[in-house]
């Protein structure tokens, strides 16, 4: 399998090169040259389906036995034999729980595999990297858990000091591994992101430190997320039975994986996108116009995003894989803060996609109602997905699967204020509040951060 850039001006590469590169040289995102087709069959067994779905994307880049070991090990970090269990909510509505991994959010599904893939490929090449990233919460802990104790890498994660929840902070700072380095930046999440961008833009520094990233634009992360769409279909009537999904959305990586599953042959009749008050995506699906707005903080912080980077992959498909047209559209957006799709193209979105936005008060009411109705306790992100599933569902005879992306105990304050009951952490994280923390607090200053990264890696 070869990969091409969504902007059409970067070299075509194989799987292991796009794994390590992340972003393409022309600023675009890598996508496979063609979509493999799923065969009939599938029993709902997670590991078997994962191997079948992902192998064509990996191609010959990794020995099949080694890849199978990595998939098996990554899945084994989940505290459920089914890896991603389905919960029946009645009326043909189902919850797909994606949060049984080590850090209790769906990002573990992709990152547990990507950490192993990086380790394998870097070891094979005899290379070392320094992974740097900024986090407002979930990504940092999932990336740290995926990279801890891996010989060919250090990982440095910047988070905004005093602006992430205590659970989220402790999930990062209590990891005792020598290759894990947490930095609390005296600033906002945007400051952290700007610092990371500035470190990558400093070419001598980037080369000296061999900077790398595991962010959500990496194709390998999207690929790993296709699996649970297929697994859910297998468990609910088979790969060729109609099914619908609702996805609480931030960077659009999760939702785009559903689009890939459809390309591969699943009969997905509807993909619903749920957003919080940061609703650039739901406005885009409704109007065909993408207009930048301010980011407002909500109870679902992992979706407090305005520019959904993975949307570029959908635009590439919509524009008939014309990289120059994608680049022109995004240049227009960057320059003016707004851009509009051709109305004919926008109309083609309407059948496949729908979206709905929900404010925090509706989210809290949903968490309370669902706990009363079915006893299922949702986190605020998963509640957005379920609300959108109910609002946008078109055909009640087609099963609708709402993706549950975080464990309620990851957002205990919101859940307690909705239900009156504080959710408890699963056993394996039960002593999180007693574990010692390791973290360096630094000013929002590029030189200070760079000096610290140098010292961490030395």
Active site members:
107
Using CA of residue 280, residue 286, residue 288, residue 289, what is the dihedral sign?
Answer: negative
Is residue 202 a contact partner of residue 450, using CB atoms and an 8 Å limit? yes
Count the neighbouring beta carbons within 10 Å of the beta carbon of residue 33. 11
Q: How far is CA 97 from the centre of its chain?
A: 14
CB of 258 to ligand PLP, least distance (A): 10
CB of 40 to ligand PLP, least distance (A): 29
The order of strands in the sheet holding 353-357 is 86-90, 93-97, 400-404, 243-248, 268-275, 353-357
Binding mask 83-122 for ligand PLP (x = CB under 6 A): ----------------------xxx---------------
Among 254, 276, 278, 419, binds ligand PLP (CB under 6 A): 254
Which part of the chain contacts ligand PLP (CB under 6 A), choosing from 51-59, 192-200, 246-254, 438-446? 246-254
Give CA–CA dist 281/292, Å, rounded: 10
Beta strands at 86-90 and 30-32: parallel, antiparallel or unpaired: unpaired
Binding to ligand PLP (CB under 6 A) within 303-342 occurs at: 303
Among 319, 406, 453, 456, binds ligand PLP (CB under 6 A): 406
C-alpha angle 375-376-382 in degrees, rounded to nearest 5: 155
CB of 41 to ligand PLP, least distance (A): 28
Binding to ligand PLP (CB under 6 A) within 26-85 occurs at: none
Give CA–CA dist 86/236, Å, rounded: 9
Cβ contacts of 46 within 8 Å, gap of 6 or more: 75, 82, 83, 84, 227, 228, 231
CB of 405 to ligand PLP, least distance (A): 3
Q: Is 51 helix (H, G, I), strand (E, B) or coil?
A: helix
Which part of the chain contacts ligand PLP (CB under 6 A), choosing from 59-67, 73-81, 245-253, 413-421? 245-253
Query: Does the protein bind ligand PLP through residue 250 (CB under 6 A)?
Result: yes
Q: Which is nearer to ligand PLP, 249 or 298 (CB)?
A: 249
Is residue 209 a contact partner of residue 457, using CB atoms and an 8 Å limit? yes
Q: Which is nearer to ligand PLP, 42 or 380 (CB)?
A: 380
Which part of the chain contacts ligand PLP (CB under 6 A), choosing from 196-204, 242-250, 327-335, 388-396? 242-250
CB of 414 to ligand PLP, least distance (A): 12
Binding mask 123-162 for ligand PLP (x = CB under 6 A): ---------------x------------------------
Give CA–CA dist 127/210, Å, rounded: 9
Q: How far is CA 261 from the centre of its chain?
A: 16
Give CA–CA dist 212/214, Å, rounded: 7
φ, ψ for residue 424, nearest 5 deg: -100, 145
The order of strands in the sheet holding 153-160 is 211-212, 129-134, 153-160, 180-186, 440-443
CB of 384 to ligand PLP, least distance (A): 8
CB of 242 to ligand PLP, least distance (A): 24
Query: Does the protein bind ligand PLP through residue 228 (CB under 6 A)?
Result: no
Among 42, 133, 253, 355, binds ligand PLP (CB under 6 A): 253
Binding to ligand PLP (CB under 6 A) within 262-291 occurs at: none
Among 84, 171, 405, 419, binds ligand PLP (CB under 6 A): 405
Residue ranges that bind ligand PLP, judged by CB under 6 A: 105-107, 138, 216, 248-255, 302-303, 381, 405-406
């Amino acid at each position: 399998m070869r990969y091409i850039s969504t902007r059409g001006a970067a070299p075509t590469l194989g799987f292991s090169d796009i794994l390590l590169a992340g972003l393409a040289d022309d600023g675009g995102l890598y996508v496979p040259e063609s979509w493999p087709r799923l065969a009939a069959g599938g029993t709902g067994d997670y590991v078997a389906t994962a191997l079948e779905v992902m192998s064509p994307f990996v191609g010959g880049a990794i020995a099949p036995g080694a890849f199978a070991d990595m998939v098996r090990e990554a899945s084994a970090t989940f505290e459920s034999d089914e890896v991603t269990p389905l919960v029946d909510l009645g009326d043909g509505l189902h919850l797909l729980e994606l949060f049984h991994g080590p850090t209790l959010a769906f990002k573990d599904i992709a990152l547990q595999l990507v950490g192993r893939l990086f380790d394998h490929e870097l070891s094979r090449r005899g290379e070392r990297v320094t992974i740097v990233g900024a986090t407002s919460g979930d990504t940092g802990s999932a990336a740290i858990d995926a990279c801890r104790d891996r010989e060919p890498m250090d990982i440095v994660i910047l988070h905004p000091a005093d602006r992430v929840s205590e659970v989220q902070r402790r999930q990062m700072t209590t990891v005792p591994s020598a290759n894990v380095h947490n930095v609390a930046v005296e600033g906002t999440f945007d400051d952290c992101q700007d610092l990371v961008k500035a470190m990558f833009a400093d070419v001598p520094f980037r080369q000296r430190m061999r900077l790398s990233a595991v962010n959500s634009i990496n194709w390998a992360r999207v690929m790993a997320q296709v699996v649970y769409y297929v697994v859910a279909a297998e468990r609910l009537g088979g790969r060729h039975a109609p099914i619908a999904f609702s996805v609480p959305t931030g960077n659009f990586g999760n939702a785009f994986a559903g689009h890939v599953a459809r390309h591969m042959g699943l009969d997905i009749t509807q993909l619903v996108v749920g957003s919080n008050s940061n609703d650039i995506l739901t406005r885009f699906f409704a109007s065909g116009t993408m207009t930048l707005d301010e980011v407002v903080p909500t109870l679902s912080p992992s979706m407090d995003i305005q520019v959904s980077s993975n949307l570029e992959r959908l635009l590439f498909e919509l524009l008939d894989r014309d990289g120059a047209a994608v680049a022109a559209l995004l240049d227009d957006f960057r320059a003016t803060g707004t851009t509009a799709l051709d109305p004919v193209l926008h109309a083609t979105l309407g059948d496949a996609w729908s979206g709905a936005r929900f404010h925090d008060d509706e989210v809290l009411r949903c968490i309370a109602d669902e706990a009363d109705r079915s006893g299922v306790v949702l986190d605020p992100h998963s509640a957005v997905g379920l609300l959108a599933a109910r609002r946008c569902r078109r055909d009640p005879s087609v099963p609708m699967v709402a993706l549950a992306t975080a464990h309620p105990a990851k957002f205990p304050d919101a859940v307690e204020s909705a239900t009156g009951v504080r959710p408890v952490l699963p056993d394996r994280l039960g002593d999180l509040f007693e574990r010692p923390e390791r973290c360096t607090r630094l000013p929002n200053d590029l030189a200070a951060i760079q000096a610290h990264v140098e010292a961490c890696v030395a």
